[in-house]
Amino acid sequence: MALDYRERIPNNVDLRENRALQRALEHWQPHFLDWWKEMGPAAFAGADVYLRTATTVDEKGWASYGMVKMPEYRWGIFLAEPVPDRRIGFGDALGEPVWLQVPGEHRSALRRLIVTQGDTEPASVEQQRRLGENCPSLYDLRNLFQVNVEEGRHLWAMVYLLHGYFGRDGREEAEELLARHSGDPDKPRILGTFNQPIADWLSFFMFTYFTDRDGRFQLKSLAESAFDPLSRTCRFMLTEEAFHMFVGASGITRVVKRTLEVMKALGSEDPAAVRNAGAIDLATLQRYINFWFSSSLDLFGAEISSNAASYFANSLKGRPDEARFADHLAIDQSLRIEVPDGKGGVSGEDVPMRNAMNEVTRAAYVRDCDVGVQRWNRLLAEAGYDFRFRLPSPRFRRAIGVWAGVATDPEGRPITQEEWQQREPDWLPSAADRTFVASLMRRVTEPGKMAGWIAPPEIGINNTPLDYEYVRLN
């Protein structure tokens, strides 16, 4: 389905036929542009950036590439093609026709789901707004900006739903999405992870690998929704979210490759020697993995959740790839969940499956995260080193759920608070680690050149050469 770029707001939802909605969104648009100017990528408004822009929503031709100034990027409202005679795939309404409007009894819950998802999109732009000042290459700078403009478009996607289906309440929520800011002490973003500063590119790659991967699982869950406009919105967003995870996976891979090159040249694995040579040692990489993976785990919510049960029962939010499950009602099933036993150990609790939906999704996320970890470990093995990266236990450093506030080591073994305080610098990035990583962040903007702590990518964007001028700085 082609998009109409003659419109002030490009869209494929027949916005021209709904004048009231069009006027409301055109009223919101200047507020969005003011937010982008204030909170978007700092000091790059005049740069020409080689960006991908959606032109269709089918799988064969949904993007075109060209030089664009970011404030002129054509943000819009794009929904995936409707599925003919789509039926509800889970919950108590299983098999019924999907909803084209919001049922009154589910209005509040659906609005909360949409607002929470929508709040993450501008939050990540705000977290990353100063990264361009110390980019490791023009290739990476361009990828950062591509992620940023797409997060901005994902905000538009949620705002369309709020304006189009929730009346005055939705319009007020859309304004609040621009009023909250990442890390603001008075009006922070809704979810804690999106208030964490991202001051260096290693954190950016970890964020796009781990936190954007959580976003993918959340979008896949919402794509199962019986509310069809939400489902179609999320299905299109998933095509763009895949690139964000690519940025993280390939970025960390390139950091590991460069570290291995330096270790080979030095003939040493000593972290101090690797650091002195301008690369990031493996132990520091592991600590960053521990931090960002554990932060992202909390985004799935508590292991035992009445809200999750209600969302599933009411067909609002399903499991990712719901079709692969045999039972779409999940009434007579349970899931055994590990919980603290109150005595410094671990016990098991059988939880009704509907109440355990967050944990089902979190477990799938953990397996997906581990794919990249094993890929990085193959690089270590091929280079002849014994060191191996690993994901910490899902019990480690939790702030939400049954393990919230329970001290464990990265293997998930409960420990005393005294031992946690003593060992924390071994497991999480210390102030010294962050200072060291920050010291490597030197801006490199000569086409084809890379900072010394990261290897070049294997191929350029859209088959362009690596020395292509992806961002033309003024």
pLDDT, tens digit (0-9, with 9 covering 90-100), for 421-448: 999 999 999 999 999 999 999 999 999 9
- Residue 54 is predicted with a pLDDT of 82
For the chain, what percentages of helix, strand and coil (3-state, to nearest 5) are there? 55, 10, 40
When the pLDDT of each residue in the chain is averaged and rounded to a whole number, the result is 96
Confidence of residue 403 (pLDDT cuts 50, 70, 90): very high
The CA distance from 187 to 182, in Å, is: 8
- Residue 107 is predicted with a pLDDT of 98
The CA distance from 40 to 230, in Å, is: 26
Q: What are phi and psi of 89, to 5 degrees?
A: -100, 5
The CA distance from 394 to 403, in Å, is: 9
Sign of the four-CA dihedral 466, 127, 198, 379? negative
Q: Locate 365 and state its tokens.
A: 């996320």
The CA distance from 29 to 67, in Å, is: 22
Q: Locate 160 and state its tokens.
A: 């369309």
- Residue 55 is predicted with a pLDDT of 76
Report pLDDT digits (tens) over 39-64: 999 899 999 999 999 877 765 556 78
- Residue 1 is predicted with a pLDDT of 58
Residue 285 has pLDDT above 70, yes or no: yes
Average pLDDT over residues 222-249: 96
Confidence of residue 160 (pLDDT cuts 50, 70, 90): very high
- Residue 465 is predicted with a pLDDT of 97
- Residue 181 is predicted with a pLDDT of 98
Q: Locate 244 and state its tokens.
A: 């964000």
Q: Kindly tell me the number of DSSP H helices and DSSP E strands found in the chain.
A: 13, 5
Exposed, middle or buried by CB within 10 Å (0-12, 13-18, 19+), for 287? Answer: buried
Report pLDDT digits (tens) over 444-472: 999 999 999 999 999 999 999 999 999 99
- Residue 167 is predicted with a pLDDT of 96
Contact 161, 114 (CB under 8 A): yes
- Residue 474 is predicted with a pLDDT of 75
Residue 287 has pLDDT above 60, yes or no: yes
DSSP string, 430-462: -HHHHHHHHHH-----STT---TTSPPPSS-GG
Query: If DSSP codes are grouped into helix, strand and coil, which group holds residue 264?
Result: helix
Average pLDDT over residues 276-296: 98
- Residue 311 is predicted with a pLDDT of 98
